[in-house]
Structure 1
């Protein structure tokens, strides 16, 4: 299985847009990827995944406390979106570690 960085990045942006859909105007993670360094782009992506996790936890807690504005379906969708984003992040991490190990094992 081959993961393309551009397609993965666009999928992460789409997940972030969907997650922010009910909250207000969704903004892309990066307006021009070439104008930022990789570290900044990675930090923004991780912050987005982290905020999705916190939103999921807050929605669960609000539902448990009896918030009439939240349905079980809304809570489950929020939780699944956060789970998918986290799983995608773990897969990216695994690919980066695999690439690092391959590069480190190359003879010079």
Structure 2
């Protein structure tokens, strides 16, 4: 990672992760939101699998690059935290919908 990329990350110029916020189509409603959350979960799962592959490669001695290992683990951790936050918001929205009186 170049120095400029680190400076951009530290000072907020560009985000490091590639996670996308779920995009919700207003005409489709709640189902659209659930579909976008499922895509987010797939992205998170891919990040975790990548981190696991890096861990196995490092443990087997196939690579000695700790930098890539730590970056993969950090990306997976951030993706998981983001997914948990989105899940909490979805559950909160669902509970509010269920409490509405018709």
| Band the TM-score falls in, shorter-chain normalisation | 0.5 to 0.7
Deviations 1:20-58 (A, max 9, x none): xxxxxxxx8x9x975x97254333222111111000000
Change (3 A) 1:40 1:106: closer
1:3 maps to what in 2? none
Contact map agreement 1:16 1:48 (CA 8 A) in 2: no
Stretches of structure 1 that go unaligned for 5 or more consecutive residues are 1-13, 18-27
User: How many residues are aligned here?
Assistant: 82
- Aligned-pair CA distance for 1:91: 0.5
- Quick check: 1:66 aligned with 2:68? no
Stretches of structure 2 that go unaligned for 5 or more consecutive residues are 1-15
Query: Radius of gyration: which is bigger?
Result: 2
1:96 to 82, 90, 102: 90
TM-score in terms of structure 1 length:
0.61
- Quick check: 1:16 aligned with 2:18? yes
TM-score in terms of structure 2 length:
0.64
Contact map agreement 1:56 1:78 (CA 8 A) in 2: yes
1:75 to 69, 72, 76: 69
RMSD across aligned C-alpha pairs, in angstroms? 2.9
Distance in 2 (alpha carbons) for counterparts of 1:73 and 1:101: 42
